[in-house]
Structure 1
């Protein structure tokens, strides 16, 4: 029985906070739009739903590019400018571009017990990998700030498109034993479903402020292992549980 597991971790909203920073910028955006369009009494929910629609469509088309988010603010502004109507002001668009890009300059912070969890798994002899979606420069800055190389070394994968195809390429390019390989992440769309499709185990970490893009339905009951937890510190217990279940099965046979 192979007790040494190969564990791929997502980064954003699995190891470190992410969505809450976009939420802060969006809060500013809603106020700005409501001020500019005061004569038309736009609600926060109207603005929010249109921005989500535009943002998600962009990710589907071009992947996790840094320009998606600020452009979604501008395109939302343009939508309401045409709908209300109100003249489009290039200076206002510049302001929104700067606001959107500012999210990438914010200092990130880890989820509680991140370091302790990674230390525990590493000390148990498991091989840790990092697999994150986004642009290399932005994601690498977060990795460096959190000093994550001490856990992952060179075993880091950054992809602008994070989907079933991308994960399959990673698995085929390395020496992964799928029966003892895991994908840990908060996204059903980009972490869990690709993992189950590839025939590896997965742990879904549920978060309270999930990005709408990540919320999808599992179309079928998975043939392989899927656990759901509410915090990263539960991950070692789930992995130990699977190893113990395999040990008992072998003993009975």
Structure 2
């Protein structure tokens, strides 16, 4: 293999639980305006709609929260309440990075044998900040932050580094973003599931039929595999 790429959020460090906590706080703030089930559904709709405009990441999440609050209250939400939502959302910008157990050990060993890359999607500033705060950046020869992780994005990255798909390995927690697109272009992929998966990243079982990839239960199992 010429290049091994790692997803970042929920592969190298904890991420999704922070977003779940902020969404629950939004439900609390708006509980006197709307029921939680309706808010959850409408907020998800806003997130998906805004992906086309704002992309992934904390800023898009915060804007979707504000937009949802305005829509569901028919504009009755106060400026003070909007400020509360923004303040809660800011927690997503600078939360302490909790690196998963075993990750530094694995990266230390693999970085001596292979060229490693962080290949993640989202807001450039947000992702660069998380990589820096994680203390893992020195293990990676390359960092690629893309707006979407699909077949075209992977092909562009591989062309940029003059790597053939057969010589590329992607490791991540998302079947939709980290595994299936890589398999489809002829690359290799290792799935390390995380306990929480955002609904937008979930895939139906039939989409996995006939797809060849490896699933591991823990990052340290990579060392045994290699």
- CA shift, 1:182, in A, is 0.7
Partner of 1:158: 145
User: Hey, what's the Cα distance between the residues in 2 that align with 1:132 and 1:220?
Assistant: 22
Partner of 1:129: 117
- CA shift, 1:193, in A, is 1.7
SS in structure 2 of the partner of residue 76 of structure 1: helix
Q: 2:219 aligns with which of 232, 238, 243?
A: 232
Give ranges in structure 2 of 5+ residues lacking alignment: none
**Structure 1 length as normaliser, TM-score?**
0.80
User: Hey, what's the Cα distance between the residues in 2 that align with 1:111 and 1:126?
Assistant: 21
Q: How many residues align?
A: 225
Deviations 1:13-64 (A, max 9, x none): 1001110111221221111111x32xx6x2x333223222221232255422
Q: Which has the larger radius of gyration?
A: 1
User: Hey, what's the Cα distance between the residues in 2 that align with 1:122 and 1:89?
Assistant: 51
Partner of 2:63: 71
- RMSD of aligned Cα (Å): 2.1
**Structure 2 length as normaliser, TM-score?**
0.89
Give ranges in structure 1 of 5+ residues lacking alignment: 241-253
SS in structure 2 of the partner of residue 107 of structure 1: coil
Partner of 1:113: 102
Contact 2:43 2:65 in 1 (8 A): yes
Deviations 1:142-187 (A, max 9, x none): 111222232113x110112332221110011112132231111111
Contact 1:65 1:160 in 2 (8 A): no
**How do 1:71-90 and structure 2 match up within 5 A?**
71-82=63-74, 87-90=76-79
Deviations 1:66-88 (A, max 9, x none): 42101221222123213xxx723
Residues 163 and 67 of structure 1: is their aligned pair in 2 closer, same or farther, counting only changes over 3 Å? same
The answer to whether residue 38 in structure 2 is matched with residue 46 in structure 1 is yes
Contact 1:70 1:98 in 2 (8 A): no
